Amino acid sequence: MTADIAVYGATGFVGKLTARYLAEHAPEGVTVALAGRSREKLERLRTELGPRAADWPVLTADSADAASMRTLAESARVVATTVGPYAKHGLPLVEACANAGTDYADLTGEVLFMHETITRYHAAAERSGARIVHNCGFDSIPSDIGTLLLHEAAGEELEDTTLVVRALKGGPSGGTLASGMGEMDAAKSSRDLANVVNDPYALSPDREAEPDLGPEAGVRGPVHDDELGMWLGPFVMASINTRVVRRSNALQGWAYGRRFRYREAMGMGSGAAGRAKATGLSVGLGALFAGLSFGPTRKALEAVLPSPGEGPSEKTQQSGFFRIDVHTRTASGARRVCRITAQGDPGYAATAVMLGESALCLAGDRAGLPERAGVLTPATALGAALAARLRAAGHTYDVG
Ligand SMILES: NC(=O)c1ccc[n+]([C@@H]2O[C@H](COP(=O)([O-])OP(=O)(O)OC[C@H]3O[C@@H](n4cnc5c(N)ncnc54)[C@H](OP(=O)(O)O)[C@@H]3O)[C@@H](O)[C@H]2O)c1
């Protein structure tokens, strides 16, 4: 039987949350398979999910076994995968889905992994009709869908665009930290890989065709934005999200404009207090990255940070939230903003909604999706259909 959706990595931290979200929210008639490397754990999870999941098939598949990746890709119309770090475990599944014409959604925030899937599998996915959609979680759905909605509402090209995180409560999972450290290590091991990670257009479909807009390093230390009237500090996800949003622009034939400049930052408020907060954040983040790239302090930090498979309690997850504004100045000089909010820890509860709805969107909204295949972004694969689903699920995307 071909399932509508297979959740791969269903026994991991975010995989379980996504499976639970689908058990509670997938419309009647949508069939879901639970996939992972341990049948015993999958069967236990199916029991925990209750009556809605009682007849869901269970599929065992190890990412190191290419044949089982092909079987997985052929057993569902959409595979939603949380098996990470993706650079370590993810390529065989992308290859299998690209060849089989199976739609795919993941939670990667690893630029090197995405760069590799684009180089190796974009053409195969275009040929088979598969939509390979990375970044279907907190990174990078708010950034990518927020910018798309701003462009649609403006009806003209965008220029300086800044995503400002106004408030955020939540923390990274062990899996996310393992993925981030893996990418950091890879970039340290090779100058070529470091160049990819540092390139603002690392995910461009045609690097040579990108406009030269001068330095696009983003917000790395405290800066005052006079137009927004506030101090900004660095946002940890910016180095991923900015590349995804730029890829969305390029895949749409630079519809946002050839003068579209995009950056992301934490909003730290105004005046002396805002300046002090922006400075404190910059110093703290700098110390964390320095600590993680130096052997002895890395060991000490790893001992206190969550390990893969670990994450916060249900209560902590539910009390999390985020509030984000994406500000833009259009080509005619108009100023617009997209206000995005969601309840639930951004990387857990809110991400499970985003990945679950992305999978449902790929499975159920085919006729309304942009006519595109290949290695895509949330905006270019799912666009307004996903925004409608997220709004219905309680996330806010208000364009003013
Ligand atoms: N974009 C976002 O906003 C966002 C948010 C959260 C997480 N993430 C990403 O999502 C990924 C998962 O995070 P997590 O916290 O859920 O991690 P996790 O708890 O460590 O889960 C990893 C999953 O991968 C499975 N796995 C590991 N090796 C495998 C193999 N060889 N074959 C098949 N399955 C294998 C594990 O199976 P077992 O259960 O059998 O061990 C587990 O189900 C990470 O890469 C993280 O960076 C992204």
285-304 as b/e: b if 16+ CB within 10 A: beeeeeebeeeeebeeeeee
Are 370 and 316 members of one domain?
Answer: no
Entry pTM: 0.95
Please report which helix (H) or strand (E) contains residue 342, including its range: strand 335-343
Are 25 and 157 members of one domain?
Answer: no
* Cα–Cα–Cα angle for 98, 95, 82, rounded to 5 degrees: 95
For residue 357, CA distances in Å to 108, 189, 225 come to 16, 37, 35
Q: HSE on the CB side for 60, CA within 13 Å?
A: 7
- Binding pocket residue ranges, ligand 1, CB within 6 Å: 9, 11-15, 36-38, 41, 62-64, 82-86, 89, 107, 109, 137-139, 173-176, 179, 308-309, 311, 347, 351
Are 79 and 164 members of one domain?
Answer: no
* pLDDT of 210: 97
Are 336 and 353 members of one domain?
Answer: no
Are 188 and 216 members of one domain?
Answer: yes
Q: Which of 60, 107, 184, 353 to mutate to test the pocket of ligand 1 (most atoms within 8 A of CB)?
A: 107
Are 48 and 113 members of one domain?
Answer: yes
* pLDDT of 172: 64
Spell out the per-residue pLDDT of the chain, length 400, in tens: 799 999 999 999 999 999 999 999 999 999 999 999 999 999 999 999 999 999 999 999 999 999 999 999 999 999 999 999 999 999 999 999 999 999 999 999 999 999 999 999 999 999 999 999 999 999 999 999 999 999 999 999 999 999 999 999 987 666 667 777 888 888 888 999 999 999 999 999 999 999 999 988 899 999 999 999 999 999 989 999 999 999 999 999 999 999 999 999 999 999 999 999 999 999 988 888 777 777 767 776 676 676 777 788 888 888 999 999 999 999 999 999 999 999 999 999 999 999 999 999 999 999 999 999 999 999 999 999 999 999 999 999 999 9
Whether the bond between 204 and the residue before it is cis, its omega within 30 degrees of 0, is no
Are 320 and 389 members of one domain?
Answer: no
Are 152 and 256 members of one domain?
Answer: yes
Q: How far is ligand 1, taken at its centre, from the CA of residue 1, in Å?
A: 26
Which atom of ligand 1 lies closest to the CA of 38?
Answer: 40
Are 294 and 356 members of one domain?
Answer: no
Are 238 and 319 members of one domain?
Answer: yes
Distance CA(252)–CA(129), nearest Å, equals 17
Distance CA(317)–CA(310), nearest Å, equals 13
The CA R_g of the chain, rounded to the nearest whole Å, is 20
Burial of 60 (0-12, 13-18, 19+ CB in 10 A): middle
Domain with 307 in it:
141-343
Q: Provide the 3-class DSSP secondary structure of residue 137.
A: strand
Answer whether 373's CB lies under 8 Å from 126's CB. Answer: yes
Are 358 and 330 members of one domain?
Answer: no
Which atom of ligand 1 lies closest to the CA of 37?
Answer: 33
* pLDDT of 225: 95
Q: How far is ligand 1, taken at its centre, from the CA of residue 9, in Å?
A: 6
What strands, in cross-sheet order, belong to the sheet with 374-376? 58-60, 32-36, 3-8, 76-81, 103-106, 131-133, 374-376
**Residue 38, domain CATH:** 3.40.50.720
Domain count, the chain: 2
Which of 297, 314, 343 is the endpoint of a domain?
343
Which atom of ligand 1 lies closest to the CA of 140?
Answer: 1
Are 239 and 289 members of one domain?
Answer: yes
